[in-house]
Amino acid sequence: MTTAGTILVVDDDAAVREALHSLLRSVGFAVELYGSVPEFVARGGLPDTPCCMVLDIRLPGMSGLDFQNELTRQKVAPPIIFITGHGDIPMSVRAMKAGAIEFLTKPFRDQDLLDAIHAGLEVDRKRREESRDLADLQTRYAALSGREQEVMAQVVTGLMNKQIAVNLGIAEITVKVHRGQVMRKMNAQSVVDLARMADRLGIERDPQLTRASVR
Amino acid sequence: MKAAELPHVVGAALPRYGVAIGCVGLALAFGYLLGPDVEIKLGPLLMIAAVVLTAWFSGLGPGLMAVILSTLAVEYFWTEPIYSFVIVRNELPLMISFILCGLVGLALSLQRRKQEQMSAENQATLERRVAERTVQLKISEERWRNLFETSSVGIALTEPGGKFLRANQALQSMLGYDEASLRLMSLSDLMAGEGVAGPQEPGGGLEVPLRSADGRIVWVSLSVSVIPASDRSPALASAVIADISARRSAIEDWRRGQAEVAKATRLTTMGVLAASIAHEVNQPLSGVVTNGQAADRWLRASPPDVAEARAALSRIVRDGNRAAEIIRSIRNILDPVGDEPKPLSVNKVIERLVPLVENELAAQSIGLTLDLAPDLPKIVGDAVQLQQLVLNLVLNAIDAMRGEHAADRRLIVRTRPGEGGVVVSIEDRGSGLPDIDHDRLFEPFYTTKAEGMGVGLAICRTVVESHGGRIWAESPASGGARFAFTLPAVDQGGTLAAEKESKTS
């Protein structure tokens, strides 16, 4: 029943840390313990595997909420589960708004924590998968020739081959050939599929182009 | 013009010259009636008298006229040849002598007359001055009387023993007695209790409660000055008595309010403490719960991991004991010490407080430095009050660093021997003190906090001063603020050293 992943525990209280260590190991997680944010930063930071952070709100040096903001700002935030001695509503709202998975008040039910951790790991796994997919896509896009990229941009805008030919000043048959190459190299099943890829790659559809061609 | 003046001049001069003519005429008549046959020539003697009289009554001009007239009369009536103005040679010395006598009489008489006139003038001047002075005195007296009678402050004139002699209207209406009844009383009869020293300012005399005619207590400010005895009057005392009931009741209201605010502040402090305590105890408790859950999972695993389960169980015992220890130490702190102040170690008071604020410090990510000097003298005081004092200053310091993104979030609590006892300082690296006279910080209702009431530091000062110390604020060079206070040391006997000093001196 174990989910592969590393759990990062940041809590200044040794008793809480040790208990969490034992609990999380008993269900098969790899666990790393830190007493404070600076200690976490000093000892290597985020691992390369799916992970989830169990973070105390009240910490010496830098509070858990501030640390969450900092990680979000650097775009490296792992899923975070906050634990706190006495959390108030504004605090939990702030944490959840900033993207926390869960906000647990000590002492908490072990199952609540484990559920949150599973959810967090799943989120992280997905995030990692997605970022891996995006990297693939970017490699494929980079493999297109300049002309093919131009054709792709116009295809995903929804233009007919004829219009593209006029726009680019080439023969319609040439457009057809480029289009076939784009579909093959991008491994796209349909124009809709290609359009989705263009979205993920952030290729902009030029509305002016559309209007010019219609005329 | 001359014609117009002439009758007036003549009118004024006529009686005076008439006197000359009259006197000489009278003398002539007497002399003549007594007869020229008398051996001694009476006529000339009488003529001299006439000259003197004329000069006396009418001055120089008529006097000279009298000399001339009498000379003519003597020449005519009493020298040979009689009844003729012819002057015979042998009568010449007599005539000259007569004229000289007349002139001397005239001069002497004029001299006397002048003196008389001068002294009469002096007399008149004197009388005029006396009259003027009398008027001035009357005005002055009236002015003082008005001041006395219409003053809004009570004024009384008493014997040195305090017996009333005079009392003005304000005093009569203040006390409800008329002046006659007051004259039967003395100041001490009216006093309804011990006086207290008034504020340290000009005019802030003694404050005493007086009982008015209807039995009401009137608090007054009383200042008495003694008027020393002079050769004309015995010693007196003047008392200025101002009704300060309104002021006193305002002060009493404020004191009552302050006590209530102090109570509210204590409750707030207790609220902060309660949150802190809850967190302190909650940490080991959540350790206990999680360890219990972990042990359960280790035992339910297949195969069960007994070693891990036992490790978790021993942590449960440890954390449970820790929770109990925290509760015990808190009970120590909150235990009422009783009313009797006793010798205390300031360091212990501070050390016992630390667990209560540790959590708040951690929450604000503030580092605490305890710089406590060993071998401090003991002080006498109320432990609970002193804990509140330090706690208040520490919570203030934490507040000052709230939201401050200073790299060095530090709270330094320091004790040092000094100033005849112990000096305690609480220093922060917060926003610093406002740019005003630092003494004002301790005034009631002065605040820089949006949600503050401005009573915290005022209460701190009350606590410090009731322990015989003083409190002040300063800006350390390193930034932030430093609040420091002193507490006098006790000697072996347990009395305040400072107190003893003042007794022996």
What's the pLDDT tens digit per position in B383-398? Answer: 777 888 888 888 888 8
Residue B2 banded pLDDT, cuts 50, 70, 90: very low
User: Cα–Cα distance between A101 and B382 in angstroms, integer?
Assistant: 50
Cβ contact B275–A86 (<8 Å): yes
More confident residue, B124 or A38: B124
pLDDT of residue B450: 55
B284 and B390 share one domain: no
User: Cα–Cα distance between B330 and B358 in angstroms, integer?
Assistant: 13
B402 and B484 share one domain: yes
User: Cα–Cα distance between A83 and A16 in angstroms, integer?
Assistant: 10
Instruction: Give the three-state DSSP class for B68.
Output: helix
pLDDT of residue B384: 74
Whether the Cβ atoms of residue A10 and residue A54 lie closer than 8 Å to each other? yes
Residues 69-98 of A with CB under 8 A from B: 85-86
pLDDT of residue A204: 73
User: Cα–Cα distance between B251 and B245 in angstroms, integer?
Assistant: 10
Is the ipTM above a cut-off of 0.85? no
| Bridging pattern class, strands B206-211 and B196-197 | antiparallel
pLDDT of residue B498: 45
What is the pLDDT of chain A when averaged over all its residues?
86
Region B262-284: mean pLDDT is 72
Of B488, B361, B380, B381, the closest CA to residue B424 belongs to B488
Provide the CATH number for the domain around residue B209: 3.30.450.20
- Ramachandran area for residue A158 (φ above 0: left; ψ -120 to 50: alpha; else beta): left
B456 and B371 share one domain: yes
Over residues B75-110, the pLDDT tens digits come to: 887 777 777 777 778 878 888 888 888 889 889 989
pLDDT of residue B204: 55
Instruction: Give the three-state DSSP class for B484.
Output: strand
Does residue B236 form part of some domain?
yes
Does residue B57 form part of some domain?
yes
Structural domain for B212, as ranges: 154-243
Region B475-493: mean pLDDT is 82
Does residue B142 form part of some domain?
no
Contacts 24+ apart (CB under 8 A), B144-152: none
Distance of CA B298 to the CA centre of its chain: 84
pLDDT of residue B194: 75
pLDDT of residue A93: 86
pLDDT of residue B233: 80
pLDDT of residue A157: 87
B225 and B291 share one domain: no
Q: How many domains does chain B have?
A: 4
Over residues B209-252, the pLDDT tens digits come to: 888 888 888 888 888 888 888 888 888 888 888 888 888 888 77
Q: Indicate whether B273 pLDDT > 80.
A: no
All domains in chain A, ordered by first residue: 6-133 (3.40.50.2300), 143-214 (1.10.10.10)
The shortest CB-CB distance from A110 to any of B287, B293, B365 is to B293
Cβ contact B287–A108 (<8 Å): no
B343 in contact with chain A, both atoms CB, cutoff 8 A? no
B301 in contact with chain A, both atoms CB, cutoff 8 A? yes
Q: What is the dihedral of CA B101, B103, B104, B108, to 10 degrees?
A: 140
Region of poorest pLDDT, from A154-158, B4-8, B196-200, B419-423? B4-8
Residue B135 banded pLDDT, cuts 50, 70, 90: very high
- Ramachandran area for residue B498 (φ above 0: left; ψ -120 to 50: alpha; else beta): alpha
B406 and B500 share one domain: yes
Does residue B262 form part of some domain?
yes
B305 and B179 share one domain: no
B352 in contact with chain A, both atoms CB, cutoff 8 A? no
Does residue B7 form part of some domain?
no
A46 in contact with chain B, both atoms CB, cutoff 8 A? no
User: Chain B: nearest CA to A55, how far in angstroms?
Assistant: 14
Does residue B127 form part of some domain?
no
Provide the CATH number for the domain around residue B360: 3.30.565.10
- In angstroms, the Cα distances linking B136 to B127, B143, B145, B467 are 14, 10, 14, 61
- To the nearest 10 degrees (0 to 180), the angle between helices A14-26 and A110-142 is 70
Residues 96-115 of A with CB under 8 A from B: 106-110
Q: Indicate whether B349 pLDDT > 90.
A: no
Q: Indicate whether A147 pLDDT > 70.
A: yes
Region of poorest pLDDT, from A45-54, B3-12, B43-52, B127-136? B3-12
Does residue B135 form part of some domain?
no
B359 and B470 share one domain: yes
pLDDT of residue B90: 80
- In angstroms, the Cα distances linking A208 to A66, A167, A204, A212, A214 are 44, 12, 11, 6, 10
Q: Indicate whether B268 pLDDT > 80.
A: no
B374 and B330 share one domain: no
| Cα Rg of chain A (Å, integer) | 24
Q: Indicate whether B423 pLDDT > 70.
A: yes
Q: Indicate whether B336 pLDDT > 70.
A: no
Does residue B9 form part of some domain?
no
What is the pLDDT of chain B when averaged over all its residues?
81
**Token reading at A117:** 């951790």
Spell out which residues of chain B touch residue A85, defining contact as CB-CB under 8 Å. 278-279, 282-283, 286, 359
Whether the Cβ atoms of residue A32 and residue B307 lie closer than 8 Å to each other? no
The shortest CB-CB distance from B284 to any of A15, A26, A60 is to A15
Query: Closest-CA residue in chain B for A60?
Result: B365
Residue B505 banded pLDDT, cuts 50, 70, 90: very low
